[in-house]
Amino acid sequence: MRLLFLGDMVGKTGRTAVWDRLPGLVSDLKLDFVIVNGENAAGGFGITEDIFLETINAGADVVTTGNHVWDQKDAVAFAGRHDQFLRPANYPQGTPGRGSGLFYARSGARVLVANIMGRVFMHPELDDPFKSAEAILDACPLKEQADAIIFDFHAEATSEKQCFGHFVDGRASFVVGTHTHVPTADHQILNGGTAYMSDAGMCGDYDSSLGMDKEEPLNRFISKMPKGRMEAATGPATICGVGVEISDSTGLAEKIAPLRIGPRLSETIPEFWR
């Protein structure tokens, strides 16, 4: 199975770049399943129902989120209406929406996708992410109820991300980090066969501060005083993500490589998909 994960869409420039390029990527790379993190898609803060639906229409099978999931007021209302929209699974019981789901790839494979949020340097501090993941894996084990299992681990600390990867190694197909908006160079297959990358990066303008116009965050670092609102940068976007090939027989990863398309970072498409 060929799976593509795209990192956090940031603002209009990030989401429109994904919408423009994703249909061609699905076709040209013969993708079986696509996941996109959309928690910063609406002006850099949260996501609206219209943006979610447009992302699905462009070819995403699931949209994940993170700590900004509720920044747009209508998210609470629409979260429960769409199975393909995921908020972190370790929110307390009774939170609107769902944190994981079983979906079908274009190949017919059963794909479990779970959105988990870390706790180190994160706000709000949610329930234990490791216990939440254990409950999800117990309910839907790899190669029993699911042919592939993917975790979007939305967290700040790379140590927490790496430990989470080792925690589910051999029991999940792929663990990918989101939230920091900077693509890491540690894509690998762990000892037990789980593909791992600490952060997929963002889909947004990299002439920025994490996708936001750089003037206001730079001012706040220098003066310690806000001058205005944080605004999403509007320059040309670079699409960042990661591609994984998953064995149909074992549900574990066989190949992993970053995908980057755009003006700022060195462009790369996984060689095994060319």
Active-site residue list: 68
Give per-residue burial for 162-192: e unless 16+ CB within 10 Å, then b.
Answer: bebbebbbebbbbbbbbbbbebbeebebbee
Residues 217, 223, 224, 227, Cα dihedral to 10°: -60
- The helix or strand, by DSSP H or E, that contains position 9, with its residue range, turns out to be strand 8-9
In this structure, the number of other CB atoms found within 10 A of the CB of residue 263 comes to 12
Comparing CA positions, the residue from 35, 3, 39 lying closest to residue 204 is: 39
Q: In angstroms, rounded to a whole number, what is the distance separating the alpha carbons of residues 59 and 127?
A: 32
C-alpha separations of 191 from 56, 168, 171, 195 in Å: 33, 11, 11, 9
**CB neighbour class for 249 (10 Å; exposed up to 12, middle 13-18, buried from 19):** exposed
Residue corresponding to tokens 């013969």: 30
Distance of CA 122 to the CA centre of its chain: 16
Q: Which two tokens stand for residue 63?
A: 């949209």
Q: In angstroms, rounded to a whole number, what is the distance separating the alpha carbons of residues 29 and 260?
A: 14
Q: In angstroms, rounded to a whole number, what is the distance separating the alpha carbons of residues 107 and 248?
A: 10
